Amino acid sequence: MAASNKRARCIVADPVRIETSLLSSMVMLWHFGFARLPKAGAQRLTPRCFLDKGQAMVNSVYSHLFSCLHDELAPVGQLGRGAHHSVFRSVQWRNISGDLLDQGRVHDFAVIWDEDHDTRIIRVIERLHLAGMLWPIIFIGERKGGVTILFAQMAGRLEDSKENLINHICEIAKDGGDDSWTVQVGWFHRVTVPGEGPHYTGWGIINDEDWRVVAYLQGIDALWELGEKLTA
């Protein structure tokens, strides 16, 4: 068999050219980097964030089942017994009417913490998530060993459903694994609707006057538009 006339080519870089290239790169870095550092007393530029609301990265990780969009680790202001909140994002497979979907939808909800920031409540939320029962919930509060769940007003009369979803949700929430909780439920109305009651029912979520609690919850909802989202 005739030997092939093709010869393998091995490209060897010229050491002089490499050294020259490195030197040129160092000069460019110095010119465009160190040489352009702000002088003493010069106004510093504020970094701009191009992430939309709800998409900013948060370092807090409470669960691998849902993500944290906003996190307050300690009481802010003077409300109740050190009330503060965190906002989370999940994916649910039912719409706000409870109908099963062909594909998941983003669902945001808020946790209202007491002064002790008892993270055991996360296990309760994970159980609800795995059971597919987060879709009607927009606020979950923990206070003195108790859990308060507020449903979105648009979720309708869950207690009238054939599945008796409210009882099912309460049974799941009572059992937090190694912990047991007392559970109460209520409703949050984004807007006042004649004949449909006050803005919220669920007195245990924050220990304070109703008008202050309503204003606080409405503020969170106004900022984050809790509940079902058609797009992220």
Residue-wise pLDDT for 67-122, tens only, equals 999 999 999 889 999 999 999 999 999 988 888 899 999 999 999 999 999 999 99
Is 140 within 8 Å of 134 (Cβ atoms)? no
Report pLDDT for 10: 40
Res. 160 pLDDT band, cuts 50 70 90: low
Q: Answer for the pair 139, 109: CB distance below 8 angstroms, yes or no.
A: yes
E strands in 12-77? 67-71
| Two tokens, residue 195 | 């004949």
The vertex-225 CA angle with 123 and 194, nearest 5°, equals 105
Q: What is the DSSP string of 148-179?
A: EEEEEGGG--GGGSTT-HHHHHHHHHHB-SS-
pLDDT higher for 197 or 28? 197
User: What is the model's pLDDT at position 8?
Assistant: 41
Q: What pLDDT score does 231 carry?
A: 67
The pLDDT value given to residue 65: 96
Q: In percent, how much of the chain has pLDDT > 90?
A: 47
Q: What is the pLDDT of residue 180?
A: 84
Separation between Cα atoms, residue 71 and residue 85, nearest integer Å: 7
pTM value is 0.72
Q: Which region among 25-29, 131-135, 203-207 has the lowest average model confidence (pLDDT)?
A: 25-29
* Dist CA 104 CA 149 (whole Å): 22
| Top-confidence residue, 56 or 159 | 159
pLDDT tens sequence across 45-62: 333 333 444 444 467 899
pLDDT at 24 over 90: no
The three-point CA angle 84-88-92 to 5° equals 145
More confident residue, 150 or 162: 150
How confident is the model at residue 196, as a pLDDT? 58
* Model pLDDT for residues 166-183, shown as the tens digit of each residue: 999 999 999 867 778 899
Average pLDDT, the chain: 77
Sequence ranges of the domains in the chain: 67-229
